[in-house]
Structure 1
Amino acid sequence: MLLEAIAAHAKEHPDRIAYQNQKEKLSYRQLWERAAALSVWLKKESGPVMIFGEKEIGMPISFLACLMAARPYLPVDPGQAIKRIEQIYRQSGAKTILTCGEYLAAEKLGAIFLGERYSEYHESGEISLPDNPLRDAYWLFTSGSTGTPKGVRISLAALENFVEWMLSIPAIAKCGQGITVNQSQFSFDLSVADLWPCFAAGATVWALKREEQQDLTVLYRALQQSSAVRLTCTPSFIRLCLCDEMFSQQLMPQLKTIFLCGESLPSRTVETLHERFPQLSIINAYGPTEAACAVCAVEVQERSGTLPVGEVKSAASKLLILDEDKVPLPDGTPGEIAIVGKSVGNGYVGAFQGGFGTFAGERLYCTGDKGMIRDGLLWYLGRIDRQIKYKGYRIEPGEIEAALLCWKEINAAAVLPIQKAGEVRGLAAIVEWNGKELPLSECKQRLISAIPSYMLPKRWIAVEKMPMNERGKCDFHALERMLQE
């Protein structure tokens, strides 16, 4: 379905722009022909293809070529530490390494520059496409709880199921063949929501390079030049955009939809977006890397408190809430969010089982996320594995963070344990204020009306900007280091 759709666009609209970045443009004809050329060479071997790059046009070409050659693509952010890249290389067992640019880590691993392979395709006629939908389409490595990267294997069937679901969302469908801004690196699964739905619909991806996201003036100029109808990003990124009132409908008059995923979305952010973009559709989505990017979504309006993360009936796969014995719980009861069906990936690279399993004969993934289904909506309540034991109580930091994010005076907040000699001595609230910092006494008074007293933070730290990691999410490791200083 996906490959056939891209082939059709290349034939019917060959000169339409499929992908562009700061300096380069790639038409659908160029995308298909160059990927076809590369796929012939890739078919000579098997296994994953490790691909170094940021936002070069070679990235989507190589991804498509891997799908044509029935080899999973493994995007690698060259900005990562070389030690981590070497860990990924060893775990993946990749025999083929490509690079779209000059990167030290790529050179160290003997990567082949991608441009050298375009001219090797000399066959005539149609490319024969593989027909096994259960094969791995891509591998992505995420952070592991043990400190070792964890590789996730996603099948072509799961990817195509995601694309079909994504394009069925009314707010996405109305964007048609317009331009979508890509914010995240390709080594982060949110990029899947930019690339493949756009290519399937014959739309255009406008990719933001890393340096364009580090300066607001440069970022705003790029967003204005994009003429985008859709923006896909994390809540942390959109909060960055909202730092200046210039980010408004005047800057992006054609913007119709924002698709937000990857972390909790504060209601205050939604309120500000509606103030700046009165006609904007704001989609709050949920899904882990292990289930092809996202599995459910809901259009959110201005409201106080916690926001839902998706509609259950329109989800890409079945959603369940399980107890500790993996037994489904009734609506309104908190438990672990589980996903059953086509969205679930093929497991992890190697022997690690993790949350993968089966349920009633279908693939199952237990997310480790705490949640609840109520009124036909899914509500995210934090990570189970971030639970803190303090004075005999089990505390979920996400609950405290959600309470703080309801305040209009706060842009972002994170709650971490204060530890000494391996013992939790209290909680710390790290806050990015929206203007003047509130007195500590008022903070405590507000919180005590929302949470139990034993959950009140002992220490409060104000930061100018909440740190973000390479995936565009809150960098909890950086915050932990801050607490130790």
Structure 2
Amino acid sequence: MPGETEVLGEGFVDSWQRYPQQTALVVDDDNFTYADLGTRSLAVKEILNSEEISNTKNVGLLTGKNIGAYVGILGTLFAGKAYVPMKPDHPIERNKEILENSSIDTILIDHAGVENLQALLREVDVSITVGTLPSVDDDQREDLGKLTDSETINIAIPPTTNKDPDTDILPDISSKETAYILFTSGSTGRPKGVPITHQNVRSYLKHTWRTYDFNSSDRFSQFFDLTFDLSVHDMFVCWGVGGSLHVIPEENKMAPGQFINDREITVWFTVPSTAMFMSQFGQLKPSTYPELRYSFFCGEALSGRLASMWQKAAPNSIVENLYGPTEATIATARYRWQPDESIEYCENGITPIGEVFPHQQREIVSRDGDIVEQGKEGELYIAGPQVFDGYIERPQANEESFTEIGGTRWYRTGDLVRKDDDGRLHFISRIDNQIQIRGHRVELLEIEATIRDIVESEMVAAVGWPVEEGIAQSIQAFIVPEEEISPKEVIQECETELPDYMVPKEIHLIEEMPLNVNGKIDRTQLRTSLSESHE
């Protein structure tokens, strides 16, 4: 296990000292050792600590998923500042919200971010220092300089090096300072800024390193977008043990089976939707991935059927279902799949989320604010060192998201759960994803589980539509069929297994399930498609 990390990035420096010539990162088919990546990151640190911009606290990263992004993250952390990832293909309005809400006054960009930043600078009335990474050419740099009152700085990245790390790489800052700021999806309104401190993420990393026997021979996947908090796990769990991080190309994300085997990945981490696609493409056949030692899933409900298929495809792998909101730092509960018994513990066909980490606290609370008895469902409240302090400049959201019980400040997750007789937590649904229809409160996960069993496919999603004043007028289901099926027959089978108010009004067969930027099924897009088709 790495040392008692005080700031995010200490684990990387520790591995740089121990394994300087070992591969730290493979991206765009280029290999970078710990010495390579570390030295390049120090060039970013030097710029960020220069006299002109040393007062910067939050650094925006408007880059593609390439070497520039990773040296930008590490260099920002080495400089004692917080990194704020932004996506070049996000709408200008969203990046404007991020820029203004997180008080960014310095942005690092590569060639992928130039066009977005040019448009962004025309929209905001603030001075922004722009740090351009080597992939930005001279003409682009000159054009950007005309759009901001501040300086445009070229960041020179040194070539491959064998340099050992200096002793003063890490910043002398409090662990209560912000390490990174991420923004919620904004699907229910304006995106909310979530500042995570070094102490928050340190608590998660220390727990993870102690729990699993990762080592410097492990080859970790890097699936998640850098605007998604699970990417922090990808990077810093790996770099803290001296492992190599393998960035999955966009073209391989829906069907990464060959990538797993070609790169001999030993630690895999993704959302369940990826496994759904792999099943659809025939990539979950038994014993397909013998090299995998660990397989983690997070971000969505993991069906028991899918967990079982994955376990058979990766027979030597420990399969774990992780759970946790961004506000509680990456993950805060886990359940280990047991091939011989776990399928019996699934409720609505969904794998349990297990129990919260031992250094965290939890309560299950009813709608009336009472702590519920075992076996009853309620909202999951979380407290502990991983829970963030509050959203940026959102007092009303903070008031709604936090409450005090017994002298403890609790974060309200918005997730309904139930604890079974053996102490396992089961995810029921999001409070805001429960729908009411014909006077009944309906769990869409239960409908999806029924349809999955009928069609023997994981690619299923159910939504309430249209919704008026919080009440759904009908249930609509979407299926990506693996073989020819009849929507009428699926509805008829649902009628034999579900109460009439839970039976989908329509079944839509689609060629591809839409995903959001984090790889999850995009139910908002499904509802939008229904609205557009009925205009």
Q: TM-score, normalised by structure 2?
A: 0.82
The reply to whether residue 34 of structure 1 matches residue 82 of structure 2 is no
The reply to whether residue 108 of structure 1 matches residue 155 of structure 2 is no
**Post-superposition shift, 1:361?**
4.6
* Rounded Cα–Cα distance in structure 2 between residues aligned with 1:424 and 1:275: 39
SS of equivalent residue, structure 1 residue 242:
helix
SS of equivalent residue, structure 1 residue 433:
coil
The reply to whether residue 345 of structure 1 matches residue 350 of structure 2 is no
SS of equivalent residue, structure 1 residue 149:
coil
Q: Which 10-residue stretch deviates more, 304-313 or 347-356?
A: 304-313
Matches within 5 A, 1:263-274: 263-274=300-311
Match of 1:66 in 2: 76
Distance 1:246 1:398, change over 3 A: closer
**Post-superposition shift, 1:315?**
4.7
**Post-superposition shift, 1:140?**
0.8
Match of 1:365 among 411, 415, 421: 411
Match of 1:287 in 2: 324
* Rounded Cα–Cα distance in structure 2 between residues aligned with 1:125 and 1:193: 25
Q: Which 10-residue stretch deviates more, 231-240 or 427-436?
A: 427-436
Match of 1:307 among 332, 346, 350: 350
Give a deviation string over 1:15-45, Cα, whole Å, max 9, x none. Answer: 1111111232222122223323322332402
Give a deviation string over 1:217-248, Cα, whole Å, max 9, x none. Answer: xx444333211101110011122223333555
**Post-superposition shift, 1:410?**
2.5
Give a deviation string over 1:68-118, Cα, whole Å, max 9, x none. Answer: 223211111212222222222222221011113332113434642134335
Match of 2:220 among 180, 202, 215: 180
Distance 1:316 1:20, change over 3 A: farther
Give a deviation string over 1:171-194, Cα, whole Å, max 9, x none. Answer: xx2565411111111111121221
Matches within 5 A, 1:338-417: 338-351=381-394, 352-353=397-398, 354-374=400-420, 375-407=422-454, 409-417=456-464
Amino acid across the alignment from 2:41:
A
Match of 1:223 in 2: 260
Amino acid across the alignment from 1:179:
R
The answer on whether the counterparts of 1:432 and 1:466 sit within 8 Å (CA) in structure 2 is yes
* Rounded Cα–Cα distance in structure 2 between residues aligned with 1:41 and 1:363: 39
Amino acid across the alignment from 1:473:
K
SS of equivalent residue, structure 2 residue 322:
strand
**Post-superposition shift, 1:479?**
0.3
- Name the % identity: 26
Q: Which 10-residue stretch deviates more, 179-188 or 248-257?
A: 248-257
SS of equivalent residue, structure 2 residue 465:
strand
Amino acid across the alignment from 1:97:
I
Match of 2:472 in 1: 424
The reply to whether residue 433 of structure 1 matches residue 481 of structure 2 is yes
Amino acid across the alignment from 2:517:
E
Amino acid across the alignment from 1:154:
I
Distance 1:435 1:100, change over 3 A: same
* Rounded Cα–Cα distance in structure 2 between residues aligned with 1:213 and 1:145: 23
The answer on whether the counterparts of 2:216 and 2:244 sit within 8 Å (CA) in structure 1 is no
The answer on whether the counterparts of 1:338 and 1:365 sit within 8 Å (CA) in structure 2 is yes
The reply to whether residue 162 of structure 1 matches residue 210 of structure 2 is no
Match of 1:47 in 2: 57
The answer on whether the counterparts of 1:413 and 1:431 sit within 8 Å (CA) in structure 2 is yes
The answer on whether the counterparts of 2:329 and 2:387 sit within 8 Å (CA) in structure 1 is yes
Match of 2:234 in 1: 194
* Rounded Cα–Cα distance in structure 2 between residues aligned with 1:97 and 1:88: 12
SS of equivalent residue, structure 1 residue 338:
strand
* Rounded Cα–Cα distance in structure 1 between residues aligned with 2:112 and 2:351: 43
The answer on whether the counterparts of 1:136 and 1:155 sit within 8 Å (CA) in structure 2 is yes
Match of 2:371 among 314, 325, 328: 328
Distance 1:209 1:356, change over 3 A: farther
Distance 1:202 1:176, change over 3 A: closer
Match of 2:141 in 1: none
* Rounded Cα–Cα distance in structure 1 between residues aligned with 2:21 and 2:419: 46
Larger radius of gyration: 2
Match of 2:175 among 112, 133, 157: 133
* Rounded Cα–Cα distance in structure 1 between residues aligned with 2:201 and 2:55: 23
Q: TM-score, normalised by structure 1?
A: 0.90
Where do 5+ consecutive residues of structure 1 fail to align?
A: none
The answer on whether the counterparts of 1:193 and 1:293 sit within 8 Å (CA) in structure 2 is yes
* Rounded Cα–Cα distance in structure 2 between residues aligned with 1:300 and 1:464: 31
The answer on whether the counterparts of 2:334 and 2:356 sit within 8 Å (CA) in structure 1 is no
The reply to whether residue 207 of structure 1 matches residue 247 of structure 2 is yes
* Rounded Cα–Cα distance in structure 1 between residues aligned with 2:410 and 2:36: 39
**Count of aligned positions:** 478
Matches within 5 A, 1:134-153: 134-153=176-195
* Rounded Cα–Cα distance in structure 2 between residues aligned with 1:395 and 1:149: 27
Q: Which 10-residue stretch deviates more, 374-383 or 427-436?
A: 427-436
